A and B are shown apart, each in its own frame.
Chain A
């Protein structure tokens, strides 16, 4: 087909100051809000009210016991045994477990179980299929700094790419604005479940992310008005955060006494001020190693942290700097050569980042790649091992589960198979690091959202109906 790669390869930068762990399950409070508690009523102002809160509700599902499977927890060695899911949680993992009343018992012989996969770099829903101008909602490419836009306000829950990703074992994604802008806007962390609204999918308690982008994309998009150089890019970030510092100071001062009129509300600066407060995690599209070093200095200048660089094609050149900064690296397994700043991509990138002690993540940034995140991790793991860089299977699994969960600030809820964590679970037909294996069942917060053997458990979006090929997750 002639779908060109969309021009939104981007990365995120993260803030280090994490919001405290999210409440497990249930509906949490929306993160990233400056007021102490959402208020309602005629005497309140917009900024005091809940800002587009999650309406997510866990769906009921009978208890599920998967027996005699190879369980890859991403939090310890692989083990042969059983795993019990109940009321949306992982209840137990052990050699043998008793099935509670009413449980579905699944023979996992020869099969593998992993945590639900997490893609911290997706544009599903904002660059939806079928890829027309009408749904090209990922880049507000009208100004180099658009911190005021929120990806969730573009997100289309009927994107027919969503069922394909679910069939690949993905349970949670970060939806990012594109990379046209220096500062592209807020991300949304959503559970991949059938839903009518993005609010129903928003991961309760997940902090917002902020998309920033280095390098070629902003300077290309804005070459006629500026920035048109990397130094112009840097000046643009700095100007924006200088304004944000002033805005934060004004508001923080006013909030202490609440005397007189509050400062004027500015959506752009409100988001950036929350970055400075550590409430919003920075996700920074950045390819070149030297440029990441510049961004780390920028973060130091303004007192925030970059949670994860994204794409990080030259991460292997500065992996020690990333480790020291505590900044994760979200990478493709082996993409390279599609533009100058991707020229030095190598398949051992993730392994070398891991070896240096930095947190490696395999991301997709692609509606095709998101269907095979486990395979991209496998490719990167074996490429590293062949070059003599030790990467364990557990580490490689963490690249697509626990590590992205950390990058999104939801690692206390999901990302590993441990009792008490959300029942985000994939049952694979075989070793998830083999090219021949497929996700057979996907549980999202305990809800069976995909079953390869049950057409009734294969989501068809509205767009699928009456015009798309039968069978999902083909």
Chain B
């Protein structure tokens, strides 16, 4: 297995887009541009300089030395931001939550796991493999950044936002930690002694104790306070969450779990992002008033006792109520299919512009990167996709993908396999 991984990594070295040694100036001209920060622009130019967006508009002066890309008939959007998964953790697609033994049977793909059900101090960064084969595959779908999450536990740990390029994991980091990942759904009943009520009580106790520890650190060090609900290092890791600097990213599907998460966030003044949200539409007004974004998987309309009232038009109903909707699911084809999740949401009633925002600016803003990602505005990081048409349609392809202003290779292990077997028998 390890030999195979090494071999795969060697093959891929040539495929991974690397940062340019000298910054390029690039002009994509005469395209249909969706800046997301404003209305669609027809016949517009996007100018990229030094890895940043320099200008967007119908009238842009293009420096003479700029590389010109004819965008006639093309659609230009910000790079897509995928915020639910485990991209880079292990060699495969490695989506979060696929902990079924069938999926963990592929050894080494589950670096998001951490022993114990409270792992607030656990950060997945060191496990991110810049050579993971899933990364170039995700880029093929126009995904340029992703949240890489720890997998399981009442508090699974710290997620990291990465750029989908870089020779070393440190090069990839956009923000670490980007979120504290927690679970108030069915999966956490065991952490609560068998009940979700117990899980909620433990989560509350953790935040209460984190506040106590910070306030009475000296007493703690001198053994003058009773036992806390977690070791000090775990509670210390919750300080940025208590401060509202780090969002608490909570899986909750049942209406009651969602309401519990909202109450927890209100009581401790936490920045909450909901994930799952199968029954969120039932309490859309409450969620909107709390200002909590919801990350949805648009494929998820199958009833379970963790969310009997799941429905496909959840995103549309939430948006109508004023909730910030983010789309990011766990499509079995991988992150490259994120754009189709947006299309599914449109089919089920979400406005097209809201669907594009839900995979660009909305996740960037929710995770604290709105100053850098998510829109095509001067000064922002040049994460840009040039599409052959409507990005949500199956007939459309991502033709050019830029990260940090550098054009990415759209080759992957998938395309190598395809080309080898395009004619049979293959010539090995």
Interface residues of A (CB under 8 A from B): 1-7, 9, 129-132, 160-161, 164, 216-217, 220, 316-320, 332-340, 343-348, 352, 356, 366-369, 371-372, 375, 378-379, 381-382, 386-387, 389, 433-438, 463, 467-469, 471, 474
Contact = CB atoms under 8 A, between A and B. Distances in A.
B333 A336 contact: yes
B360 interface: no
Contacts of B278: 1
11 contacts: A2-B97, A2-B185, A4-B97, A5-B100, A129-B303, A317-B424, A333-B333, A344-B417, A367-B302, A471-B313, A474-B348
Q: Which of A1, A352, A434, A435 has the most CB of B within 10 A?
A: A1
Contact of B302 (A161, A338, A386): A161
B134 interface: yes
Nearest to B340: A435
Interface in B82-126: 92-95, 97-103, 105-107
Given A344-B417, A348-B418, A379-B394, A474 B313 contact: yes
B284 to A, nearest CB: 13
A347 B302 contact: no
Q: Which of A2, A343, A356 has the most CB of B within 10 A?
A: A2
Interface in B308-329: 308-313
A1 B99 contact: no
Interface of B: 92-95, 97-103, 105-107, 133-134, 185-187, 251, 253, 276, 278, 281, 297, 299-313, 332-334, 337, 340, 343-344, 346-348, 392-395, 397, 414-415, 417-418, 421-422, 424-426
B348 to A, nearest CB: 7
A458 B77 CA distance: 38
A29 to B, nearest CB: 36
A2 B251 CA distance: 9
A220 B102 contact: yes
B343 A436 contact: yes
B307 A338 contact: no
Given A336-B334, A469-B311, A435 B424 contact: no
Contacts, number: 180
A316 B424 CA distance: 9
B301 A220 contact: no
Contact of B394 (A348, A435, A468): A435
A319 B394 contact: no
B344 A435 contact: yes
Contacts of A220: 101-102, 105
Contact of A337 (B134, B310, B344): B134
A378 B389 CA distance: 15
B224 to A, nearest CB: 41
Nearest to A464: B303
Nearest to B276: A1
A368 B329 CA distance: 12
A4 B100 contact: yes
Q: Which of A7, A319, A435, A436 has the most CB of B within 10 A?
A: A435
Contact of B99 (A4, A129, A164): A4
Given A2-B97, A347-B333, A435-B340, A164 B302 contact: yes
Q: Which of B92, B392, B394, B395 has the most CB of A within 10 A?
A: B394
B28 to A, nearest CB: 21
B304 A3 contact: yes
A3 B417 CA distance: 32
B347 A438 contact: yes
Contacts of A335: 332-333
10 closest pairs, A vs B, by CB?
A: A337-B93, A435-B343, A334-B333, A337-B92, A335-B332, A474-B312, A469-B309, A378-B394, A130-B304, A469-B311
Nearest to B313: A474
B195 to A, nearest CB: 16
Contacts of B299: 368
B332 A366 contact: yes
Nearest to A219: B105
A5 B394 contact: no
Contacts of A468: 303, 308-309
B102 A217 contact: yes
B103 A339 contact: yes
B22 to A, nearest CB: 32
Nearest to B342: A435
B362 to A, nearest CB: 20
A133 B385 CA distance: 45
B91 to A, nearest CB: 8
Contacts of B92: 337-338, 343
